[in-house]
Amino acid sequence: MSPRLRLVLFALACLVTLPAVIGIALNMPAFGAHPMPYGDAINAAAPRERHVSNMVSAINFDYRGFDTLGEEFMLLCAVTGTVVLLRGSRGEALEARPGIVPGRKMPPRSDAVVLIARLFAPLTMLFGVYVALHAMTTPGGGFQGGVIAASAALLIFLGEGYRGWRGVVKSPMLDVLEGGGATLYALCGFASMALGAPYLTNFLPLGTFKDVWSGGLMLVENAGVACAVAGSFALVFLEFMEETRTKKAEEGQ
């Protein structure tokens, strides 16, 4: 398709869709308007029914907990697929050398990068754990905390280099975190069923409002999600970073 034909097609598509787009845009609620009865209902009900002050967590882990189970296993499947595709020829060995791109110099790590990474890796990890732990009271939760923790593990790579990073962040450990977290979430539901309640019914004591340990079963589910997400993201980072190493066959050269 020539560029001119593409432009003509684009103009035609614009002509066809523009009236509809303008019509919808003019009929949208005003910016910041609040026609959301469901949100208001949750805001009113969740503190009373579930004793938590972070409504997003209340929705994610309780009111639509089964949806989150689906998301959890979606992530698990996506990461497993990626790992199955990428695990193999490259970078498995700790001493695998960095891959070489012709014509690009390989400068040593600068002291500034090492210093910043060493300072911020533990702090970022701590922040990730904090965000995950306070899922029931403040914004954030298992997913956000897990991703922050995984990026903290990546800061070790920036600070210590590939070998030092691989020495600390072990692939089997991440596998267990990922699968174990997802399993923990699923088991929470079966625990409810064992007590004769529907799947994922919140049967644990709910605790006091605005307390870190409020929310009952949501706390366990949140821990599962935090482990699974931290494991998944760290595992994806690891498998991708392995691809920047030389292949096994080349190492003899």
Partner 1 sequence: MSALIAALLLLLAGTGTGVVLTRNPRRQVLALSANGLVLAVLFMALQAPDVAFAEITVGAAAVPLLFLVVLASVKMDRSPRAPDPS
Residues contributing to the site for partner 1 (CB under 8 A): 31-32, 56, 99-102, 104, 131, 139-141, 143-144, 147-148, 150-151, 154, 233, 236-237, 240-241, 243-244, 247, 249-250, 253
Q: How far is the CB of 149 from partner 1 (least distance, A)?
A: 10
Q: How far is the CB of 141 from partner 1 (least distance, A)?
A: 7
Q: How far is the CB of 158 from partner 1 (least distance, A)?
A: 11
How many angstroms separate the CA atoms of 244 and 86, rounded?
12
Q: How far is the CB of 8 from partner 1 (least distance, A)?
A: 20
Q: Tell me the Cα Rg of the chain.
A: 24
State which amino acid sits at residue 179. G
N-terminal to C-terminal alpha carbon distance within the chain: 45
How many angstroms separate the CA atoms of 158 and 148, rounded?
15
Closer residue to partner 1 (CB): 189 or 215 = 215
Segment (H or E) for 77: helix 65-86
Closer residue to partner 1 (CB): 120 or 199 = 120
Closer residue to partner 1 (CB): 143 or 185 = 143
Q: How far is the CB of 83 from partner 1 (least distance, A)?
A: 13
Closer residue to partner 1 (CB): 32 or 108 = 32
| Tokens found for residue 166 | 């691989």
Closer residue to partner 1 (CB): 100 or 193 = 100
Q: How far is residue 203 from each of residues 52, 186, 189, measured CA to CA in Å?
A: 15, 15, 10
Q: How far is residue 192 from each of residues 50, 100, 204, measured CA to CA in Å?
A: 16, 54, 9
